């Protein structure tokens, strides 16, 4: 079994942070907020989890790629945004065909893409600053 690469460590960390923030928003913030009581409340109630979903799904996808075919990682901004956009289209427009209470919303798609953009920025910053790298890890960064 091969050792975890620095990018795999980053993606696992990013996925964990995204899921933790999703849980905090869902169980600690949203139950106590009224969606129409201000911009922040409206964002936290309606779109924050979608942003975190786009962020987390990009990280999750790269965890899978890192484990199986690292050369297929989502690396470029265009690849991340296009992938998350297509996933968002499916989640927002195909899911309502199967889930009765689901509704389509273009703002949700935009929030997913925004989360993908935040993931791409965090990933680029991690590579630039060499976060999640050990002293012994060799540079295998083809980003």
The pLDDT tens digits along the chain (143 residues) read 455 678 888 999 999 999 999 999 999 999 988 877 889 998 999 999 999 999 999 999 999 998 888 889 999 999 999 999 999 999 999 988 998 888 899 999 999 999 999 999 999 998 887 766 655 554 444 44
Residue 143 is predicted with a pLDDT of 44
In this prediction the pTM is 0.86
Residue 89's alpha-carbon distances to 67, 70, 81, 118, in angstroms, are: 26, 26, 12, 19
**Judging by beta carbons within 10 Å of its beta carbon (0-12, 13-18, 19+), is residue 11 exposed, middle or buried?**
buried
| Alpha carbon 12 to chain centroid, angstroms | 11
Return d(Cα 78, Cα 143) in angstroms, integer: 13
Residue 5 is predicted with a pLDDT of 78
Residue 16 is predicted with a pLDDT of 97
Secondary element (H or E) of residue 8: helix 6-24
Residue 138 is predicted with a pLDDT of 47
């Amino acid at each position: 079994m091969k050792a975890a690469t620095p990018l795999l460590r980053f993606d696992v960390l990013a996925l964990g942070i995204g899921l933790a923030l999703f849980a905090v928003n869902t169980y600690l913030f949203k139950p106590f907020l009224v969606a129409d009581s201000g911009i922040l409340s409206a964002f936290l109630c309606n779109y924050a989890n979608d942003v975190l979903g786009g962020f987390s799904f990009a990280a999750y996808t790269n965890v899978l790629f890192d484990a199986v075919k690292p050369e297929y990682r989502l690396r470029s901004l265009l690849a991340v945004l296009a992938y998350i956009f297509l996933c968002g289209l499916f989640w927002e427009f195909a899911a309502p065909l199967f889930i009765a209470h689901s509704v389509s919303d273009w703002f949700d798609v935009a929030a997913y893409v925004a989360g993908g953009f935040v993931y791409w920025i965090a990933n680029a910053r991690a590579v630039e600053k060499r976060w999640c790298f050990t002293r012994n890890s060799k540079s295998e960064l083809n980003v």
